[in-house]
Amino acid sequence: MDLKQIKLVIDLMKRSDLTEFAVEEEGFKLKIRRGASGAPVISSQSYGSATPFPVLSAPVAEAAPAPAAPAPAPAPAGEEAGIVYVKSPMVGTFYKAASPESKAFAEPGTKVTETSVVCIIEAMKIMNEIQSEVKGTVVEVLVENGAPIEYGQKLFKVKQG
């Protein structure tokens, strides 16, 4: 993967809700995660090569600040107040545990924080740990173990608090 391809991924992340991207190829591993400010934070690791893969530590280009958000609208009919959904940041296969013998990362009643790993999504033979990104208690797991999932699909129902 070259610098041009990395910039394309960053542009894609800016134009979508994608918060994390990881790829591993022969000789290097690349992980891009959107920081708190919305700017990409990139880390890479190369091994087995005399020339290290370039590491970008600063955002490539800052977008203009977004206008102030309007006041939140009341919850649409059918949605409960205080309920947030953890959604899939990618297409792949959903796994509730690290292995078939392991305990599930999150089940109904599990308390989670913004950094709690709630599942793994396998995409292109890479296992991606998915974080809750919300603090609260898991109310319901909305996907079956081993099921194919889509980008933006609801995975967990979480009661904030």
Phi, psi (5° rounding) for residue 85?
-110, 135
Q: What is the pLDDT at residue 1?
A: 63
- Quick one: DSSP state of residue 14? H
Nearest of 109, 65, 80, 89 to residue 17 by alpha carbon: 89
Cα dihedral 77/19/23/110 (nearest 10): -60
Please list, in sequence order, all residues whose beta carbon lies within 8 angstroms of the beta carbon of residue 65, skipping any fewer than 6 positions away.
none
Q: Which residues of the chain have pLDDT under 70?
A: 1-2, 27-28, 35-79
Domain borders along the chain are 3-46, 83-160
The continuous run of DSSP H or E covering 63 comes out as: none
Q: What is the pLDDT at residue 79?
A: 60
The pTM (predicted TM-score) of the whole model is: 0.51
The continuous run of DSSP H or E covering 21 comes out as: strand 20-25
Q: What is the pLDDT at residue 58?
A: 42
Q: Domain 83-160 carries which CATH code? A: 2.40.50.100
| Mean pLDDT taken over the chain | 75
Measured distance CA(75)–CA(22) in Å, rounded: 34
